[in-house]
Chain A
């Protein structure tokens, strides 16, 4: 795909989103001019761009949509639910067509084309048919036969005759009369030219910025009339232009002279001088004219005048002014949004990669400097590392995008799905300006979609049920995003029926996920819905509830190094919280070692460090200022051979509100960690989130704290409720 096409695809997708958002707004405010304008503009921009890249199928489709939107904008048709639904479908179809373009196919396949035709047919039939879509053809210059006249022989000349009187504002509109003549010269040869300054007032009345000039031109050219007229397109409305083809009838010249403001005798002389007419022809013509003037004036003269003379058209200034004021109000806000630079994502990725390398190389330099024990060198390298850190942060910031765009997509989903299910649901979005890494945003869409659909499908009840439960009939679905200590939290909150604890527990027992009689906290019960193959919905709807899904949602989120939690109150609603790392590329880490290998713990999760008191024994928990803190030993978990050192350390980490300790040999301090993903082979490894390269060139593994905390908690629980010793290893 070439650069323009790829820019176009990106841009059009944005425009489609804007169009869709505006269409949805239109449901509530069907006559709002700003919204109508926004919808139109989106379609218009897409069509314009599609024209530039010569994507005909998209132009053709969008053109009809644009026509309908134009009518809508001009108040010729009114928006109602049907039309909005149809236009939404059209915007979807445009999305598909852009997909076709993106895929590199030359044209949409038959199915897609049939869909498009069906949509267009509906638009034409229901909304455009009365007036038809005639605006497809631009108004063409009047055809030649206009110059049909009475009597008189043809004039003997092979030249066109052009009479031109410029309007006074030509110069003020940035046009130079001379440039038209020059341009005319590109169509043929200007045989003779006579300049008329008759309209020029006396010097004291003259406006030096106005144009008073006129020209009589004899022009030899093989171009047709339309082409010659086109030269003067830009000034047609304010100038007087007459074009007589070669061998026009004498009477036409006479009519021309009558139509022009100058004195007939003077014009006649000029026509003769430039060779348009001979003196004899002129005399004959004038004689015929004066003789037949009584009856000729009524039919012959007025007709061509009306034909050729285009009256000056000026729009009432009041109208424009009123529009200006209104436009201005929205202007300032939008301009701020538009101050963006568009760059290709892979350029950014390259930069981030380089910054990553820089961080690693910097760590190497730091290491050497500290080994050398040279104070000045250490000083200098520490300045460099501080700068590298700033560069890292700024570079990562470049990849940050607002989540609002992703959120806004759900307006449509909520609208469509709730309609389909006969529910009335309001979507409330907050924190749309929260930023997170672009690659995270891209991947979070699917899990979010699933959770939102779930909330609509299973969470929020039908209006009747809600009324029975004394809730407002209109359900409420919230999408929130906010930052929380190094991560971003996305919440999907509904005010529906909530999760049924008993039902989930029963089901879990049925499926063998838990032992009967096993007591679980609410949190643990709710967490069961994320287990594979779990679904409590008896009736399978076409939206969700097929029993696949929540486990996939969880997996997707985990693959982003995030996690999902659920909290629910029966009868009051459910809250899903997705917690994601801000970035996937570089983090601040805490370097520890166990055995001879280094491990990195994400610094955000480290609460404190302490020495492990000797004699902890078999117990896997310690007393942290009166609190029970379960811990795991990295040596045991990873089955590292060798004796642990005499003094071990505990890193207290916190994940999702749960604390746990990780026992390691040594604490090596903070370390900027460039995350290198693990290979495919290690995808299912629990407890390890990735790897990184240390300044010394060695590889260190990055610990997946969340998984470790779970392992620690579970082990501790097992050792308490069953028998000690059954510790889970790193499960594959």
Chain B
């Protein structure tokens, strides 16, 4: 089973997305802040995809992505970020940090799953 790591400070988003993912047969790991998530990555959590929010208190998503990319085990991990900001700057910044792509919130289950399918090996 493919495992997706989901990071968002919003409990609503965590709950809804993890619901969709679980129903679609993915394993889901969750964290509500980047630092906690980063700790799990540093500990070598086994995941096939990381989905993270950008705008979070504490460490923001962009720094988080950079930190994850620095870890050798996750150099090629697909990373999607959640955004509602369609501004290119945020996307460019996140891409520069090493993100693979993005999901625009709120996404329907179909949109979410097809995006995941696109980036998942």
Q: Is B42 an interface residue (CB 8 A)?
A: no
Whether B58 contacts A330 by the Cβ 8 Å rule is: yes
Q: Is A45 an interface residue (CB 8 A)?
A: yes
Interface bracket on A: 35 or more
At the interface with chain B, which of A170-178, A414-422, A427-435, A716-724? A170-178
- Neighbour of A324 across the interface among B55, B63, B87, CB < 8 A: B63
Whether A234 contacts B118 by the Cβ 8 Å rule is: yes
Chain A residues near B93 (CB-CB < 8 A):
315, 320
- Given contacts A138-B104, A174-B98, A180-B118, is CB(A4)–CB(B78) below 8 Å? no
Q: Is A327 an interface residue (CB 8 A)?
A: yes
B80-121 near A? 1/0 per residue, CB < 8 Å = 001011111101110111111110111000000010011111
How many residues does chain B have at the interface if contact means C-beta atoms less than 8 Å apart? 54
Chain B residues near A54 (CB-CB < 8 A):
106
Within 8 A of A (CB), among B15-47: 15-16, 19, 32-33, 35-36
Whether B60 contacts A4 by the Cβ 8 Å rule is: no
- Neighbour of B117 across the interface among A8, A38, A183, A342, CB < 8 A: A183
- Given contacts A171-B76, A320-B93, is CB(A45)–CB(B98) below 8 Å? no
Chain B residues near A315 (CB-CB < 8 A):
89, 92-93, 96
- Given contacts A173-B98, A179-B118, is CB(A53)–CB(B16) below 8 Å? yes
Q: Is A328 an interface residue (CB 8 A)?
A: yes
- Neighbour of B55 across the interface among A12, A44, A209, CB < 8 A: A44
Chain B residues near A70 (CB-CB < 8 A):
85
Whether A175 contacts B119 by the Cβ 8 Å rule is: yes
Chain B residues near A328 (CB-CB < 8 A):
59, 63
A529-548 near B? 1/0 per residue, CB < 8 Å = 00000000000000000000
A330 to B58, CA, bound (A): 6
Chain A residues near B76 (CB-CB < 8 A):
171-172, 174
Chain A residues near B97 (CB-CB < 8 A):
320
Whether B33 contacts A335 by the Cβ 8 Å rule is: yes
Whether B12 contacts A234 by the Cβ 8 Å rule is: no
- Neighbour of A327 across the interface among B60, B69, B79, B117, CB < 8 A: B60
Chain B residues near A320 (CB-CB < 8 A):
62, 93, 96-97
Q: Closest A residue to B118 by CB, please name it.
A: A183
Chain B residues near A313 (CB-CB < 8 A):
88, 92
- Given contacts A49-B10, A175-B100, is CB(A237)–CB(B35) below 8 Å? no
Within 8 A of B (CB), among A166-190: 171-176, 179-180, 183, 186
A: residues with CB less than 8 A from B are: 3-4, 7-8, 10-12, 38, 40-41, 44-45, 47-49, 51-54, 70, 135, 138-139, 171-176, 179-180, 183, 186, 209, 231, 233-234, 237-238, 313-315, 317, 320, 324, 327-328, 330-332, 334-335, 338-340, 342
Give 13 A-B contacts (CB < 8 Å), ordered by A residue: A41-B56, A52-B12, A52-B13, A52-B16, A139-B88, A173-B79, A173-B99, A183-B117, A237-B92, A327-B63, A334-B58, A335-B35, A335-B59
Q: Which 6 A-B pairs have the closest CB atoms?
A: A51-B106, A234-B101, A138-B86, A49-B12, A174-B100, A174-B78
